Amino acid sequence: MPRNLWVGLPGQLREISQAATAFERGAELNVSQFTALSGQITTIAPRHSPRRIKLGFDRLTREDAAHFDRLARRIDGPGPIEVIDPVGRNLLDPLQAEGRSVSDSPYNVWYTSAAGSGRLEPSAAAGAPPQTYVWKADSATAQLNWHRRPRAGFPVAPGMRVRFTLPTSWRVGPCTTRLHWRDADGTYLSSATDTGHTVVATAPAGAALVTPAGVAGEAGTYGLDGAVLTLDDDHVPTAPVNLLGADQAAGRGALTQWSATGVTLSTDASGYAVASLAASTAGTLTFVNGTQKGHAVPAGPGLTGLVLPAAVRSRAQGCALTFHDAAGTSLGTANGWAPATVPAGTTHVSATVSFASATTAFQSRIGPARLLHLDPTVTELPGDGCPVMAVTAYTDSPARPLPYRNISIDLAEVTSASV
């Protein structure tokens, strides 16, 4: 987690290396209390409780004190200012990290990169809290961005190590994770990309804001809970496990690791398994686990998905995941490429890929492939939030020896600031 406090306007963040002698981190609850004649108490509170921070420093250096003074007196602009406090870890808003919105509009929390690239809809899951949303990607390339109002991204300073991990349900698919760097005005600079569920990158020169984004990689419906955005933090969010063995995942070894109909299996000169399909021929390819009814699945809740090499996926028509219990009885089949929920009682899952007839022949290595599994109930870092703030109170008194200063400053979460 960040060791020190960072505070300032976008592009002017300053690290305060001296620890505060007083640090109060609370919220403006604004709770109204009514007591009836019977003695019963009723409370009324707003849906959102703004964050408040109070800081005190003894014998602060002249340079750090001058930085606070400029912020408090709004010398460089009305603000609001950015505050990255030492306690905060996941910079996403608490509700945002849970896939929820404080309002009835999810587009205050997430936004799409282009019209027609998908939509946000209320979750229909049983027991889902109010204002819980899901992302319905209508294509494999649909991108979703994590919003932070009123600015174009979350605060960063050049040299910071930024890590963003996609929501839990995205991690068992062929997802891509991105960080879009922006300057203080929100103008796009560059991007860092990783073909996986997590991207780790260093903020480049000129970067003042970062917009985290992701591509699910397959059309389908995805939950939005479990995303994590950290700065200079060693926490590593939970990764899915590959249920395939090492050789099968790499696509090498005995051809008995796969069964095929219509598809011809062979081994190339490097020892890798190759699937060939003649023109005008349909076929199927199943990942086999010896005499078992599929690959063993960890007990408990789970999400699973099959990720194939790009060449195989582009030729494949469909994917079927069949779930079995300990007796070998089928518990159902999930058809499609989006992550599938593992039915209760499942001990094994079998993955089959289907190929439609085409006018051209097809040949490709089978690997590398992944049959991914993840427990969706795993606990991730809760969202701490990183709201923009304004200085609401400030004192500055000389300290001994000069030029040290004793500083106290109060900050409140705001939606905007003006003079």
DSSP code string of 339-352: -EEPPTT--EEEEE
**Structure token pair of residue 185:** 């005005």
- Coil, strand or helix: which one is 75? coil
Per-residue pLDDT, 417: 65
C-alpha of 90 from chain center:
10
pLDDT at 117 over 80: no
Those residues whose C-beta lies under 8 Å from the C-beta of residue 266, and which sit 6 or more positions away, are 255, 273, 274, 276
Q: Is-above-0.85 flag for pTM?
A: yes
* Percentages (nearest 5) of helix, strand, coil residues in the chain: 10, 45, 50
Domain ranges of the chain: 1-86+386-419, 89-238, 241-374
- What pLDDT, in 10s, does the model give residues 177-202? 999 999 999 999 999 999 999 999 99
* CATH class of segment(s) 241-374: mainly beta
Q: Taking a C-beta distance cutoff of 8 angstroms, is the pair 325, 331 a contact? A: yes
Q: What was the pLDDT predicted at 116?
A: 61
Half-sphere exposure of 92 (CA within 13 A, CB side): 33
Rounded to an integer, the average pLDDT of 246-265 is: 97
Extended strands (E) in 166-300: 176-182, 188-194, 198-202, 209-215, 220-223, 228-231, 241-242, 258-261, 264-267, 273-277, 283-287, 295-296
Residue 104 Cα distances to 47, 146, 382, 385, angstroms: 12, 17, 22, 19
Q: What is the pLDDT of residues 12-65, one digit of tens each?
A: 999 999 999 999 998 888 888 889 888 899 988 877 788 999 999 999 999 999
Instruction: Pull the structure tokens for residue 108.
Output: 């205050």
Write down the pLDDT at residue 1: 47
Given a cut of 60, whether residue 261 has pLDDT beyond it is yes
Q: Which residue has the higher pLDDT, 294 or 113?
A: 294
Q: Is the peptide bond before 398 cis (omega within 30 degrees of 0)?
A: no
Cα–Cα distance between 164 and 171 in angstroms, integer?
12
Altogether, the residues listed in the chain come to a count of: 419
Q: Which CATH number describes the domain made up of 89-238?
A: 2.60.120
Kindly report, residue by residue over 131-171, the tens digit of the pLDDT.
Answer: 999 999 999 999 999 999 899 999 999 999 999 999 999 99
Give the full edge-to-edge strand order of the sheet including 198-202: 198-202, 161-165, 228-231
pLDDT computed for residue 416 by the predictor: 74
Question: CATH number of the domain at 1-86+386-419, please?
Answer: 2.40.30
For the residues 405-412, what does the mean pLDDT come to?
Answer: 96
CA–CA separation, 240 and 218 (whole Å): 17
Q: Does 89-238 match 241-374 in CATH topology?
A: yes
Direct distance between the N- and C-terminal alpha carbons of the chain, in angstroms, rounded to an integer: 34
Cα–Cα separations (whole angstroms), residue 122 to 218, 221, 222, 272, 394: 20, 11, 11, 45, 43
